[in-house]
Amino acid sequence: MSGGLFAREYARLFDRLAPGERKDIQEYLSELGASALRLEGLRNFLDHPAIPNDDKLKALEAAAPEKFTPVVWRVFGDILKRRMTGIFPLIAEEMERLTEEANNIHAVGITSAQPLSPALQAALAEKLIAQLGGTLKPRFTVDPSLFAGLLIKIGDTIIDNTIKTDLEHLRSRLMTISST
């Protein structure tokens, strides 16, 4: 099972076991992950096999903004035992995704070859909301290598209407024709 799959399962577990604490857990894991990336010693401490898990849990508990329930600490202990502290920020991201999904909020990535005007961004967002319903959380980016068109990512769905992809498909078809 990959880190992303573990993160998804732990996020779902926190959702079921500690719904009242979920926001605090999410913020704590996000900050813990950011700290572990900044402070190499913290990550080494948390993943070191010779340091007892109880000592690691005590250190995490001392840094926690408030006391979590014992079940939350057991889950943290399981993550420490598996030496998978690198998934703390992934769990926080997955918890955010689950919250957005439950509240019908759609995170949408929209990539264009040129910057889109605010009016075009608003019109595109309106059309997407009409199709998806709920609330839209758009993230607009620019990638000049697309040449023209839009690349839209909504969860696992990709809508690719770019010249770059059209040219790649054309090239592939021409290669198939020329090899026969």
- At 160, give phi and psi (nearest 5°): -115, 105
Of the candidates 97, 119, 118, 108, the residue with the CA atom closest to the CA atom of residue 150: 108
CATH number attached to the domain at 3-99? 1.10.520
DSSP 115: P
Digit-coded pLDDT (tens) for 9-67:
999 998 888 778 888 888 888 888 888 767 778 888 888 899 999 999 998 888 886 77
Given a contact cutoff of 8 angstroms between Cβ atoms, the answer to whether 121 and 140 are in contact is yes
Q: Read off the pLDDT of each residue in 133-145 and give the average, rounded to a whole number.
A: 94
Mean pLDDT of the chain: 89
Digit-coded pLDDT (tens) for 86-116:
898 899 999 998 889 889 999 999 999 999 9
Domain ranges across the chain: 3-99, 104-178
